[in-house]
Amino acid sequence: MMGGFPRSRARGRIVIKTQKEIGLMMKSSEISALALKRAGEMVTPGISTWEINRAIGDFIIKRGAKPSFRGLYGFPGNACISINDELIHGIPSKRRYLQEGDIVSIDVGAYKNGYHGDNSATFACGKISEHAEKLIRVGEQALQAAIKQCISGNRIGDIANAIQICCENNGFYIPEDYYGHGVGRDLHEDPNVPNFGKPGRGPRLTPGMTIAIEPMLNSSTKKTKILKDEWTVVEANGNMAAHFEHTVLITAGEPVVMTSLIN
């Protein structure tokens, strides 16, 4: 779904974007990136996840866009906000307050002019443990390693393997139930973009493809479970998890990170 989604969500056709479509996607991606940056700045002890959620919605709407996630498959928030052992799909709550030492994964999408931009990051709330720092650092490194594989002619498996190697070599585990995805007119398009796999396998990367790459990593097991709210996905052992994501455009040359604020 928003931060990762089951393989059954795939739509069966990879959509190659035109230059006009890419231009429209760049606008929605920029709004999504700015909203995520604003959300990250709000991660402080004592704030509720609902306050962050409300600020994200207000930010996106003021820029003429809509939060991609609100109402999607019935999701009730403007963004997914997941704390500590929550990997993805955390529901914002007026009763959930951040505490010193938490790590907070925030997944934000913006929809404008018929196209989505999608990104996520995990933020530290105050001073965090060395383990939490490493988890975040490795997640960021895995995302960058994956982006380096986004070269025309490579395959989805090259992206997946780069994430897997980075995470597992650092002692973390890859959940196998949730994937990255293509993104464009629909938030979730083909192809599936897993976080594990063999290089040289899967669909070939072609200029005009736009994909949401989203490393997800657990501390102690690849297993996950879904809480009673039927949304929140947690690390099965109750240990910390992290999630990072960028929307990336495949070109004839270097990849373009559409949700980067420094393009």
Identify the pLDDT of residue 5: 55
pLDDT recorded at residue 11: 52
Domains of the chain and CATH, by start: 7-257 (3.90.230.10)
> In whole angstroms, how far apart are CA 40 and each of 34, 106, 223, 233?
10, 8, 27, 21
Phi and psi of 233, rounded to 5°? -100, 125
Over the stretch 92-141, which tens digit does the pLDDT of each residue have? 999 999 999 999 999 999 999 999 999 999 999 999 999 999 999 999 99
* Residues 26, 13: Cα–Cα separation, whole Å: 22
Is the predicted pLDDT of residue 57 greater than 50, yes or no?
yes
CA distances from 25 to 56, 88, 206 (A): 19, 24, 17
Find the mean pLDDT for residues 11-30.
Answer: 93
Average pLDDT (50-76) is 98
pLDDT of residue 261: 86
pLDDT at residue 213, as a whole number: 98
Mean pLDDT of the chain: 95
Q: Is the pLDDT of residue 12 over 90?
A: no
**How many whole angstroms separate alpha carbon 100 and alpha carbon 166?**
28
In contact, 243 and 105? CB cutoff 8 Å: yes
- 140-194 residue pLDDT tens: 999 999 999 999 999 999 999 999 999 999 999 999 999 999 999 999 999 999 9
| Contacts (Cβ under 8 Å, ≥6 apart) of 110 | 28, 29, 31, 32, 35, 60, 63, 65, 66, 67, 68, 116, 117
Angle of helix 19-41 relative to helix 49-62, nearest 10 degrees? 140
pLDDT exceeds cutoff 60 at 1? no
Backbone angles phi, psi at 201, to 5 degrees: -110, 160
pLDDT digits (tens, 9 = 90+) for 216-260: 999 999 999 999 999 999 999 999 999 999 999 999 999 999 999
Residue 9 has pLDDT above 50, yes or no: no
The two most distant CA atoms of the chain are separated, in Å, by: 48
Backbone angles phi, psi at 180, to 5 degrees: -75, -175
